């Protein structure tokens, strides 16, 4: 086959030689059966063709100001004064420890203080 020889097909309507890659003839005949059936059918409104890009719906993030307004609207809890005094009394009372436990805590605190002094030591300033 030569380099400039065109591969052609003939149109069934007008018998004209058309390039194989062409979709339709100059006379208006389309070579694809699917396209011919689509042209013959009436356009129904139920079938919509998606022409544009479908965008994914973005998540709805909460509005911080709206959230803060909801918090402000809540009424504060009503407390009695007796509950407040009981809570303070419980928090202020030191736990009762045995002498052995007190000695151990005292030793641990001395070690912590010694290590803190070693880390934070600074040479005396010459004045």
Tens of pLDDT, residues 16-50? 888 888 888 989 888 877 665 666 666 555 566 66
Q: Are 8 and 19 in contact (CB under 8 A)?
A: yes
Q: What residue ranges do the domains of the chain occupy?
A: 8-40
Question: What pLDDT score was predicted for residue 122?
Answer: 75
Answer yes or no: is pLDDT of 127 > 90. no
Strands (DSSP E) along 17-114, which ranges?
A: 17-19
Q: What is the pTM of this model?
A: 0.26
Average pLDDT score over the chain? 76
d(CA 18, CA 24): 8
What is the distance between the alpha carbons of residues 35 and 25, in angstroms, rounded to a whole number? 13
> In this predicted model, what pLDDT tens digit does every residue of 76-90 receive, in sequence order?
667 666 666 666 666
Nearest alpha-carbon partner for 32 in 42, 20, 49: 20
For the chain, how big is the Rg over CA atoms in Å? 45
| 11-45 burial: b if 16+ Cβ within 10 Å, else e | beeeeeebeeeeeebeeeeeeeeeeeeeeeeeeee
């Amino acid at each position: 086959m030569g380099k400039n020889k065109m591969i052609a097909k003939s149109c069934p309507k007008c018998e004209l030689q058309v390039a194989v890659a062409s979709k339709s003839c100059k006379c208006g005949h389309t070579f694809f059966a699917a396209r011919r059936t689509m042209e013959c059918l009436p356009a129904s409104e139920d079938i919509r063709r998606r022409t544009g890009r479908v965008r994914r719906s973005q998540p709805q993030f909460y509005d911080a100001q709206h959230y803060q307004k909801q918090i402000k609207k809540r009424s504060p809890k009503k407390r009695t004064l007796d509950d407040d005094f009981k809570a303070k009394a419980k928090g202020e009372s030191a736990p009762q420890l045995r002498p052995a436990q007190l000695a151990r805590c005292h030793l641990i605190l001395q070690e912590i203080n010694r290590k803190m002094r070693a880390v934070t030591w600074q040479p005396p300033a010459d004045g």
